[in-house]
Amino acid sequence: MILQALYGYYQRKSRGDQPELPAYGYSVEKISYALVIDARGQVVGEPLDLRMPDARGRLVPRPLPVPHPGGKRTSGIEPFFCWDKTAYLLGAEVEGKRLADCLTASREQHRAVLETVEGAAAQALRAYFDLWRPERVQEWPQWQEISGSNLVFKLDGTPGYLHDDPAIRTAWETYLARGEEDVIGQCLLTGQPDALARIHPDIKGVKGGQTSGTAIISFNKSAFESYGKAQSFNAPVGKGAARGYAAALNHLLRSESRNKVQIGDAATLFWAERDSPAEDLLPLLWSPPLPAKPASGSRPAAASQVEDDPATRQRLHSLLSVLARGGAWSGLEPDWDPQVRIFVLGLSPNAARLAVRYWITDPLDALLRRLGDHYRDIAIQRAFPETEPEFPPLWLLLRQTAAEGKADNIPPNLAGGVMRAILTGSPYPHSLLMALITRIRADHAVNTLRAALIKGCLNRLARACQRSEEEYPMSLDTNRQDAPYRLGRLFAVLEKAQSDALGPVNAPIGDRYFGSASAHPAGVFPVLIRLNRHHLQKLRKGDGQGGLAIVHERRLGEIMEGLGAFPAHLSLEEQGGFILGYYHQRNDLYRRKETQHSEEA
């Protein structure tokens, strides 16, 4: 099903007047220079520099569709037609080996393909291999820079490249179809008899995978084979279909892809079963742009694409606002078909192979409703509404579980597990709650995003287990009676009383006692309450009427009413409730103080 969906995407994107994907027998490769030859096959000057500047101003190879037979180059000598490295086309390379053999193999291949082809382009290319002498590269001042690069051929005075010449293209496609040693079988993707691929093309662009490419289908040991079939004949796929699905997957995985969301080690790809205007914008809903540049790290590519487009940013915000309220979104996007099927593929590296983390096929409307459920579950009163995002992207949320807030430190498999939970509407992985609480204990920091994720974890788990207790709200709930939530509120009030009494101190109770208080309340809260008496006494001395001390005493009395004995131990979920109570109460305390100051001003 996965390969069929990818092959369908390839067929859709390789058609039309301006196809996005190369046809069968071609692939997009990184080309740095063009070797210019005249009609007699003589090289004209130095190779033409085709490189282009990237976002940082550095010159990088230009992606061009060129002839490619499929598969991958091994340690043997295997030339490519009409393009290749300098070792094959020039027989020269800095510190190269087997150069004469490489040039000979390339010469023989071009002669075999162009043996009966007429036309100036084909004649010039045949003549080039008869006339070229590798020692000529020493005449080029830029040879050291050119060496090792990929080159194509260009006929002097004509537009385009030699591999684009109609006669040469026809000759290449005829040569590719010969396949005298092909194994014929029924293709699993098309259902038709076809020449089967012995080795499937490489997949590139998965973060953490081998730079030379990884495989999604591979049989490299006899233990993986059956019925006497070797290598990929165990999963019979036609050569054309194999090239197609691989081209589609590489296209979706490329760094500038708008169909990809990369978070941690997991790459999530989105595409539709047919042309849909939702296809390119859909990934941005999982990774919306931030209102301001984050303090550490850089934005993912998905966010930066709309960073300077106010119209798209507003469009995303309006759509997410409706989804988070559970409303009907079709009025905002009338061109989106709610029933168009969306394919979602999650991949992560696994040595020389790819691991499929999840594969989801659902109508667009179902995916958007689940996305709305996610944003509604993590909705919480923000401590700093002016700078904190209303709809935080998933990559920013998961950084709350990472040491130093770095994406590379996100716990393995967590990104894929959370994305799967959002896409399917299932509870967030238990490891997410554990990672958040562990990081809070280490950093002594409960911020908006961490509290939001904990709220989502607890509410989803309660619904999945069909528990009777009420879900945790967005802001402070003074009527909530469960002990962990009230204990968190109590800790926030005790911390505020210390701050009001002593001001900034080197070791506030939040740093010294938060972790132990949230796990073992009975051993910590009696100590904190004794300390609080001294804080209240100091407040009474500092304030002649003791007004602030009275306020704190009333808050403590309201919270402790009905608490009973302090629990000896809180479970992981109860610790999450403690943290939410602490966040809600602290947020309420400081909001009241800010409101009071603004009224006095």
What's the order of all strands across the beta sheet hosting 33-37? 48-49, 33-37, 150-155, 83-85
Q: Of 242, 228, 229, whose CA–CA distance to 196 is shortest?
A: 242
Which has the minimum average pLDDT: 266-275, 283-292, 341-350, 484-493? 283-292
Which has the minimum average pLDDT: 110-114, 146-150, 539-543, 575-579? 539-543
One DSSP character per residue, 429-442 reads PHHHHHHHHHHHHH
571, containing H or E segment = none
Segment 507-521 mean pLDDT: 92
Residue type present at position 157? G
Give per-residue pLDDT as tens, 121-148: 999 999 999 999 999 999 999 999 999 9
pLDDT of 192 strictly over 70: yes
**Residues in contact with 58: Cβ distance below 8 Å, sequence separation at least 6, in sequence order:** none
Structural contact between residues 375 and 323, judged by C-beta atoms closer than 8 angstroms: yes
What's the order of all strands across the beta sheet hosting 266-272? 260-263, 266-272, 341-350, 353-363
Q: What's the rounded Cα separation, in Å, for the pair 6 and 449? A: 35
Structural contact between residues 395 and 408, judged by C-beta atoms closer than 8 angstroms: no
Which residue has better confidence, 338 or 239? 338
Query: What pLDDT score was predicted for residue 71?
Result: 65
Q: What's the rounded Cα separation, in Å, for the pair 426 and 240? A: 38
Q: Is 17 helix (H, G, I), strand (E, B) or coil?
A: coil
pTM for this model (two decimals): 0.80
**Residues in contact with 353: Cβ distance below 8 Å, sequence separation at least 6, in sequence order:** 214, 215, 216, 218
Q: Where are the domains positioned within the chain?
A: 32-178, 479-601
Region for residue 132 given its phi and psi (left: phi exceeds 0; alpha: psi -120 to 50; beta: otherwise): beta
Position 222 confidence tier, pLDDT thresholds 50, 70, 90: confident
Which residue has better confidence, 367 or 539? 367
Give per-residue pLDDT as tens, 164-178: 999 999 999 888 877
